[in-house]
Structure formats: C-alpha cells, structure tokens
Chains A and B, each alone.
Chain A
C-alpha cells in the first residue's frame, strides 16, 4: 500500500502519495499549476520553468519536485504568477511566434498561458532569431520558429514511440530540435500518428493538411483560460 503524504498548496491541505511530484499531487487534487514542458503521459523534464512554485519559500519546478510531509507550496499567488508571466514573455521573444497565421493559434499552450497571464506584449526586446523549417516529410513538418524547446517530442519519440527520432543540437541560443537523419525529417521513421507529433504544445511539430480546421470561436482556448478544465474537475470526467 502506498504511503500518504500531507502537504499544503496555497494553504489548502492536500494528500498525495509518497514519490509523487508536486505537479501530479496537484492534478490529482484538481489544482492547476501552469505548465508547458510537463505532459501527463511523459517523464518529467523540468525545462520550461513555467510550473515554478515557491516550495517552503524557495523556487522549484513542480513537475520534478517530490512531495514530502508538511511541505508548504505557494502556487496561485501574485508573486509566483508574476515570475511565470515573465518566463512566458521570455519564451515569446526568444522565438518567432507569428500567432496571426499559425495553424495552432487558439489551441496553442504557449499562447494560452500568455492569455491566462494577461500578456499584452512581452516586456523584453524581441530577438528575431533565424530558425529553420523542415517540411520534407510527406505528413509532418517542423517549424522551429515556434519551438519552445520543451523536449516533449524528444521524450515521446524515445519513450513512447520507441524511435528516438528527435533530440537537441546546439547550445544556448543555438539550441534547436534536430532529427535523427542527415537530410531532413523525411528520412526518419516518424509517422503522422506518432505520440511525438501529438504532444507538441505549440505549432512546431505539426501534421500537414490540418491547418485552420477548427473555426475561430470554437478552439480550445478561445473562451476559457488554460487550466480551467483542471480547476473545475472537468478534465477527469473526460
């Protein structure tokens, strides 16, 4: 039998299982901790820092930090949300996020986080980095302009699809998604129904011929902020 652990999130007592992360314990208790690189079907990674909480007063990523008895987590407070807002703004200026013509717009988790935090424009200067597109595959394409380096596709391809078709190359500002083939994604075993393609939070790894399928007004984040389904418990009923 699993051992129970009691902690508080924003002063509310919650119970989790020993070994769980703060993120998993929160999700099990219908508490939304904003996140981007975290995906429930993939191993925790902790790269985007959006889920940063104050754990006993110190900033930690909820998706990688294990719970313990008596732990006090600060999640939905002005201080913490302001830190997260700044992280999201940095993600926007580090890439080239042309929401106005992106097929993912309205269903994009990065955009949805910015909407949730009320970002009208990032406070940081735009970098306009040069990023490459790879549209060589018949059914899947990569637009690195939109990539936030969350590694969801890397983890999904390696751990779920068993292909390890993606990985990081380059360092610092040159870090980018690389494919396991010298001359483009078409020479990898990637398929349209791969988990890797489904889990991209932004419009970076996309299926072809699916663009603008859902009309404006009916998309996932058109009317309700990201996380609403978790806060209302609706995500569990699905």
Chain B
C-alpha cells in the first residue's frame, strides 16, 4: 500500500477553537485516519516536521517572530497551505491590538503604573523580557501577509464541515467548492 499523504497543523495567534473544529468532524476522524497521517501537529504532539506534507492547516494569525518561523517552516514542508479560521485569514480577535502600540498592550497587561493591569502583582513593573520568549510583532498579521497561502477557510471557528469537505477534496484531487452555507465569517 502506498504511503498515506501527511497533514500538519499548527495554532499560532489563535484560541485552538479551529483545532477543536477539526476534531468536531466527529466519527469522520476515523475516515480521516484512513486517508492521512498526521505529522507536526498539536494533535499528536509531534514538534518538528518528519518529512514532506501534502497539506498544512494554519490556525491563528501571525503575532510574533516564532509565528513567522512557523509559517516559513510550513511553507517549506507543505505542498498546500490552508488558512483555517478568521484569525488566520484576517487577524481575528488578536488583531484588535493593531490600533495600539506593542508598548501600550504590554503596559495594559503588566504595568502597575497608573493603576494599569490591576490583576497582575508586579511591584517591580517588569515587562516579561526573557530571551526565550518570542518577540511580538508591531501588528497581528493575517497569514497571507507573511507566506503564500493556497486556500482560505473563514469562520470563527471554520465549521467542521468546511474543513472536512476541503481536506477530502484536496486529498482526492477534486476542486475545493464550498456550498453557500459553509462560507461563514462567524
């Protein structure tokens, strides 16, 4: 039997809701396992690519330097990249910070000056700066602003049927044609 095509997934500036939506295909997940193997993905906890993948599913927007590396890694290892969900396709909720500076965001979250960030006990006013932490970008970018994306599945989350139909179409060499009710932005 020929080797099954591989699928990789990742969640960047997202809420994992779109990954929940992947799992929301219910019993069809058994059919999916017949069709594909999962490579790098939080679903199987494989951290690095083990080889060439047919499809990469991208959840979340691009908000930091680690996301940029992830996107480039996915583009390099996947034949087809699919932006899944509104955060990936338009920035989504994280992009609400795009109209303020990174400093304003961090101050709001961590600073105790001017009684900002009241929920944080941070008497020394430290903004997290460990070199291990990814650096935030000036804005949250839709993934197509960073690497070439082949397909877009909007929705918050992208509906399970939308993900399922698109994946099956791609894996069986059929065109991805979504009916009216499967393109939704909410």
Interface residues of A (CB under 8 A from B): 92, 96-102, 105-106, 111, 114-116, 118-122, 125-126, 128, 130, 216, 222-225
Contact = CB atoms under 8 A, between A and B. Distances in A.
Interface string B153-186: 1101000000000000000000000101101111
Contact of B186 (A114, A122, A216): A216
Interface string B92-132: 11011011000000000000000000000000000000000
Nearest to A217: B181
B89 interface: yes
Contact of B184 (A97, A115, A116, A128): A115
A118 B89 contact: no
Given A100-B156, A120-B153, A120-B154, A128 B95 contact: yes
B83 interface: yes
B139 interface: yes
Contacts of A120: 89, 151-154, 178, 183
Contacts of B154: 120-121
A124 B22 CA distance: 27
Nearest to A127: B98
Interface in B73-88: 83, 86
A39 B134 CA distance: 49
B60 interface: no
Nearest to A111: B185
Contact of A126 (B142, B152, B184, B186): B142
22 contacts: A96-B95, A97-B185, A98-B92, A99-B86, A99-B156, A100-B93, A100-B156, A100-B186, A101-B93, A102-B186, A105-B185, A105-B186, A115-B180, A115-B183, A116-B180, A120-B154, A120-B178, A121-B90, A128-B91, A128-B98, A223-B180, A225-B180
B21 interface: no
Contacts of A115: 180, 183-184
A19 to B, nearest CB: 36
A223 B182 CA distance: 10
A100 B155 CA distance: 8
B9 interface: no
Given A121-B142, A128-B95, 19 more contacts: A96-B95, A97-B185, A98-B92, A98-B96, A99-B86, A100-B86, A100-B92, A100-B156, A105-B185, A115-B184, A120-B153, A120-B178, A121-B90, A121-B154, A125-B145, A126-B90, A126-B145, A222-B181, A225-B180
Q: Which of A98, A101, A115, A122 has the most CB of B within 10 A?
A: A98
Contacts of B95: 96, 126, 128
B152 A121 contact: yes
A130 B95 CA distance: 12
B10 interface: no
B11 interface: no
B186 A99 contact: yes
Nearest to B86: A100
A124 to B, nearest CB: 10
Contact of A118 (B83, B99, B153, B183): B183
B67 interface: no
Nearest to B88: A121
Given A121-B144, A216-B186, A128 B99 contact: yes
A130 B100 CA distance: 9
B147 to A, nearest CB: 14
Nearest to B157: A100
A125 B146 CA distance: 11
A145 to B, nearest CB: 9
